[in-house]
């Protein structure tokens, strides 16, 4: 072999140079494949850190599509923190789609904080889609949640706008299947509305805002949630509208509109009756005129039958003339100014 290399190196032909380059590339690729599938450096690091894992297992991790660095580094971190985790369980959690680093960090943090956190619970929380490491941090360092503005009305009709700050701590046992922040905020808002609505006067609420916190906390709003409510502090209370007065004004306007509608209905009915009476009067006048039109025919018929003489007729005409004269004297004549005004 050494003779072959010496002959190749002594030769200066282009073909020999190409062969040397190809051999070098093959050697480099072979070394990369060996060190990729056989992570000797990672195995040596684990050995120095007190993690007992065979080199063959690291090779099998490659074939199982599990990054050996992720498992080994987290095993080293857990071992240095005094935790002894099972390699197979970490691999199973990784293959299930979990975050091995977050689970190990959560277990280390819980151990340092003297919290009881089992590996199965931690992996279940992680697979449920929650950040288990953040949950442990929230258990150690409670979180403050600012509620949006909650509007409620006291019994005296005054509207109050309230803002609260809720201090919560993660409940590790309820993280799997427990409700989130939205549920806590909704329940707190409901409790604020209920406590303000039960107050007789808005002044009492302004004088003792802590009464809202006491009523809300007594209801146990954190049941069934992933959090434990430590305190509810009222940050601000503002006075809004006088809802009672607005409702009374609206009711008065509605009553006024109803009364106006009924009056308009009665007026329309009166106008309709008046027009009906006028129509009846015109109908009666028409009948009178029709009856008066029959008088000349009746007189003519009386002449023909001999029941009426000429002197009787003249007497009748005289009576009509006298009647017309008396009516004209009894009725005052209208002045020209009144006639002009009518025109």
Written as six digits, the tokens of 196 are: 């303000």
151 and 67 assigned to the same domain: no
Q: What is the pLDDT of residue 1?
A: 44
DSSP state of 331: S
103 and 122 assigned to the same domain: yes
Helix, coil or strand: residue 66: coil
Whole-structure pTM value:
0.53
Q: Does a structural domain hold residue 17?
A: no
Asked which of 223, 245, 267 is the last residue of a domain, the reply is: 245
For residue 99, what is the enclosing H or E element?
A: none
156 and 241 assigned to the same domain: yes
Closest CA to 184 of 214, 212, 220, 218: 220
Q: Does a structural domain hold residue 26?
A: no
233 and 177 assigned to the same domain: yes
C-beta of residue 233 within 8 angstroms of C-beta of residue 161: no
Q: What is the pLDDT of residue 340?
A: 56
Q: Does a structural domain hold residue 262?
A: no
For residue 228, what is the enclosing H or E element?
A: strand 227-242
pLDDT in tens, the chain (343 residues): 445 445 444 544 455 566 556 666 665 655 555 555 566 677 777 777 777 887 777 777 877 888 888 888 888 888 888 888 888 888 888 888 888 889 899 888 888 888 888 888 888 888 888 888 888 888 878 888 888 888 888 888 888 888 888 888 887 777 777 777 788 888 888 888 888 888 888 888 787 877 787 877 777 777 778 788 888 888 888 887 877 777 778 888 888 888 888 888 888 888 888 888 888 888 888 888 888 788 778 777 777 777 777 777 777 778 778 777 877 887 766 554 554 555 5
323 and 239 assigned to the same domain: no
Containing structural domain, residue 304: 294-332
Number of domains in the chain: 3
C-beta of residue 139 within 8 angstroms of C-beta of residue 170: yes
Helix, coil or strand: residue 199: coil
Q: What is the pLDDT of residue 4?
A: 45
Q: Does a structural domain hold residue 72?
A: yes
53 and 134 assigned to the same domain: yes
| C-alpha 147 chain-centroid distance | 14
Asked which of 245, 274, 306 is the last residue of a domain, the reply is: 245
Query: Which residue(s) pair with 227 in the sheet?
Result: 170
Q: Does a structural domain hold residue 5?
A: no
114 and 207 assigned to the same domain: no
Cα separation values, 175 from 117, 146, 194, Å: 12, 21, 28
Whole-number Å distance between alpha carbons of 47 and 26:
31
Q: What is the pLDDT of residue 280?
A: 86
Q: Does a structural domain hold residue 278?
A: no
158 and 136 assigned to the same domain: no
Domain with 168 in it: what CATH number? 3.30.479.30
Q: Does a structural domain hold residue 268?
A: no
179 and 192 assigned to the same domain: yes
Q: What is the pLDDT of residue 201?
A: 81
48 and 134 assigned to the same domain: yes
121 and 47 assigned to the same domain: yes
C-beta of residue 246 within 8 angstroms of C-beta of residue 200: no
Q: Please name the residues in contact with 158: beta carbons below 8 A apart, sequence gap of 6 or more.
A: 201, 202, 239, 240, 242, 243, 244
Helix, coil or strand: residue 113: coil
Q: Does a structural domain hold residue 289?
A: no
122 and 157 assigned to the same domain: no
Asked which of 140, 163, 194 is the last residue of a domain, the reply is: 140
């Amino acid at each position: 072999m050494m003779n072959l290399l010496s002959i190749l190196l002594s030769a200066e032909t282009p073909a020999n140079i190409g062969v040397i380059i190809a051999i070098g590339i093959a050697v480099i690729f072979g070394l990369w494949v060996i060190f990729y599938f056989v992570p000797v450096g990672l195995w040596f690091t684990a050995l120095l850190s007190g993690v007992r894992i065979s080199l063959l297992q690291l090779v099998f991790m490659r074939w199982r599509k599990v990054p050996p660095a992720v498992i080994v580094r987290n095993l080293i971190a857990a071992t240095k923190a005094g935790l002894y985790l099972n390699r197979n369980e970490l691999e199973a959690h990784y293959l299930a789609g979990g975050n091995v680093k977050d689970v190990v960090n959560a277990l280390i943090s819980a151990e340092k904080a003297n919290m009881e956190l089992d590996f199965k619970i931690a992996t279940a929380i992680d697979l449920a889609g929650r950040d288990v490491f953040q949950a442990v941090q929230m258990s150690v360092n409670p979180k403050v949640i600012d509620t949006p503005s909650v509007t409620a009305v006291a019994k005296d009709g005054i509207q109050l706008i309230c803002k609260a700050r809720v201090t919560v701590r993660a409940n590790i046992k309820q993280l799997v299947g427990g409700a989130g922040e939205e549920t806590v905020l909704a329940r707190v808002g409901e409790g604020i509305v209920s406590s303000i609505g039960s107050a007789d006067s808005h002044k009492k609420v302004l004088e003792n805002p802590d009464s809202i916190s006491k009523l809300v906390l007594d209801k146990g709003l954190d049941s069934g949630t992933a959090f434990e409510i430590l305190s509810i502090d009222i940050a601000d209370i503002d006075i809004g509208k006088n809802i009672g007065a607005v409702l009374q004004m609206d009711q008065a306007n509605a009553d006024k509109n109803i009364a106006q509608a009924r009056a308009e209905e009665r007026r329309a009915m009166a106008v309709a009756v008046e027009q009906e009476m006028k129509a009846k009067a015109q109908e009666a006048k028409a009948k009178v005129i029709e009856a008066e039109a029959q008088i000349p025919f009746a007189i003519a018929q009386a002449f023909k039958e001999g029941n009426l003489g000429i002197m009787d007729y003249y007497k009748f005409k005289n009576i009509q003339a006298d009647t017309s004269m008396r009516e004209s004297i009894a009725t005052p004549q209208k002045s020209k100014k009144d006639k002009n005004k009518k025109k």
